[in-house]
Amino acid sequence: MLKVEGLNAGYGAVNILWDVGFTLNDGEIVAILGSNGAGKTTMVRAITGMLKPSAGSVMFNGQELAKKSSRFILDSGIVQVPEGRQLFTDMTVLENLQMGAFSKETKANFQKNLERSYEWFPKLKERAKQAAGTLSGGEQQMVAVARALIGEPKLLILDEPSLGLAPNIVDDILEVAKTLARDTGISVLLVEQDLTKALSAADRGYVVENGRISLEGTSAELQANEHVKKAYLGI
């Protein structure tokens, strides 16, 4: 599915990522973990084409994506739920969801995918005609996730989904991610600084520190790791 090797990226003369590598299989949830400023967002930007890497490879279903355009990467099946949601706040919930249907195929399947989104997040059907900017933070995150799913991703990237949200809302969103991975084979890249939440949902994880992968393992292995427990879990 996704294989990243030797990824280096940064801004101008400042390099942020150093030889980053990881894999993600079909129907798997993999967490990219680390504190604020560790390099997680730069990694996502490099994978999705928003930032051109200076070196390395991003292979997705056998196709090289490094240095391809964001639109090319989107068309390949990688869809991101961005940090901070980035909704069109003056538009209605329904209008925001319509923005997720970006291709001929997803436009044709919009009504089917819309109804499925309402099954995942029933509140969105109640709020369909309401301006997205008037929703609570949790409801806005539901809109952002549903919008991405309407795009029929093969790989869904959730960038800091817990940011500023109540724990129960985060649990609901991660439960949808687990259901999708299990029942549809969609792969999920979960980028998080809340290791407790992320490891409760992920199959495996990678810890990013100072722009490098410092640890990797199953969720159980990382939860038992002494460095992770002391540095991130407060144990």
Tokens of 18: 């150093």
On whether both 61 and 160 belong to a single domain, the answer is: yes
Confidence at residue 233, expressed as pLDDT on a 0 to 100 scale: 84
pLDDT of the residue at 235 = 79
Structure confidence at residue 32 (pLDDT)? 97
pLDDT for res 85 = 85
Other Cβ atoms within 10 Å of 56 Cβ, number: 19
Query: For each successive 10 residues of the chain (235 residues), what is the average pLDDT?
Result: 96 96 97 95 95 96 94 95 90 97 93 95 96 95 95 96 89 92 94 94 97 97 94 83
Statement to judge: residues 133 and 181 lie in one domain: no
Whether residues 185 and 122 share a domain: the answer is no
Determine contact, residues 13/66, Cβ cutoff 8 Å.
no
Q: Can you give the residue range of the structural domain that contains 69? A: 2-77+153-231
Residues 131 and 171 in one domain: no
**87 CB contacts (<8 Å, ≥6 apart)?**
96, 132, 133, 140, 143, 144, 147
Q: Are 163 and 83 in contact (CB under 8 A)?
A: yes
Determine the 3-state secondary structure of 172 from DSSP: helix
Stated pTM of the model: 0.94
